[in-house]
């Protein structure tokens, strides 16, 4: 099994201990890596003078060196491989969805959303877990850099889609958490699985972790709004608001179950 990627240097140690300096570096790497790759197609030597310069204060912290370009290339490579892993899962879900549509059966896949974790989010999570901020640390310690969310009409559809995916021989289950049977204290419900999928490049094979979240439409509605509330107000949420969010989550969960019961009754009538 090949690891991601072949050489993974630790990010340069910056004077500040706060994460925003490291995030500045990662963001800068992300922004310029595509430019660097385009330059590599036409020349083996990159002319530093063609790149915009950092403010003088930040330049002292983040010198533009050959190591910087090497890090930029590697970061872009890693993100490309994670994006490819997402495409693998997306393609599998698309094929399953088309197969079900052709068979004229009710489709358990309502829609699929994907995302790649931002450099800021990667650094924050590594520091929160007290892991070093480096490429190999990122790969080994974070399971959700590549994320796929599958939204289903009903609760039973979640388990059906999960089983269809895990039956495929090139998908390896790493971990799973059933937050439907055992909701989080906030009221959050979803089914999380972390899987490993192969990504084949021209000369190498990589086994990449992808987190897949499976939710009903109602669960996704609650989770999306709850996330926005926390995003807009990062301070600690008052206990009264927590209780109200939990109450709403319970109401939505009850609605989920009732809608599924109605669907089963209608299906029985059709048969």
Q: Catalytic: 211?
A: yes
Beta bridge partners of 134: 10
From 211, 239, 260, 265, active-site residue: 211
231 — phi, psi (to 5°)?
-65, -40
Strand 146-152 relative to strand 172-178, pairing: unpaired
- Determine contact, residues 138/173, Cβ cutoff 8 Å: no
253: three-class secondary structure by DSSP: helix
Burial class of residue 196 in the structure, from the number of CB atoms within 10 Å of its CB (0-12 exposed, 13-18 middle, 19+ buried): middle
Q: Tally Cβ neighbours within 10 Å of residue 38.
A: 9
DSSP run (H or E) holding 175? strand 172-178
Active centre residues (catalytic) = 211
């Amino acid at each position: 099994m090949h690891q991601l990627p072949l050489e993974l240097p630790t990010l340069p140690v910056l004077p500040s201990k706060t994460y925003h300096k490291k995030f500045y570096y990662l963001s800068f790497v992300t922004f310029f890596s595509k430019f660097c790759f385009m330059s590599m197609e036409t020349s083996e030597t990159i002319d530093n003078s063609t790149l915009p310069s950092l403010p003088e204060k930040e330049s002292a912290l983040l010198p533009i060196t050959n190591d910087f370009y090497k890090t930029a290339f590697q970061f872009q490579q890693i993100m490309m491989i994670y994006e490819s892993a997402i495409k693998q899962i997306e393609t599998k879900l698309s094929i399953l969805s088309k197969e079900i549509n052709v068979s004229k059966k009710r489709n358990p896949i309502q829609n699929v959303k994907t995302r790649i974790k931002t450099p800021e989010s990667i650094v924050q999570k590594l520091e929160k877990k007290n892991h070093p901020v480096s490429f190999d640390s990122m790969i080994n310690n974070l399971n959700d850099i590549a994320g796929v969310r599958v939204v289903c009409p009903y609760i039973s559809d979640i388990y059906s889609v999960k089983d269809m995916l895990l039956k495929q021989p090139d998908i390896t289950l790493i971990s799973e958490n059933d937050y439907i049977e055992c909701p989080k204290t906030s009221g959050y419900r979803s089914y999380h699985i972390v899987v490993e999928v192969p990504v084949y490049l021209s000369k190498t094979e990589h086994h990449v972790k992808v987190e897949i979240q499976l939710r009903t439409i109602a669960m996704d509605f609650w989770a999306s709004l709850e996330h926005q509330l926390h995003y807009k107000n990062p301070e600690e949420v008052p206990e009264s608001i927590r209780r109200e969010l939990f109450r709403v989550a319970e109401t939505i969960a009850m609605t989920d179950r009732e809608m599924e019961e109605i669907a089963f009754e209608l299906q029985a009538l059709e048969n």
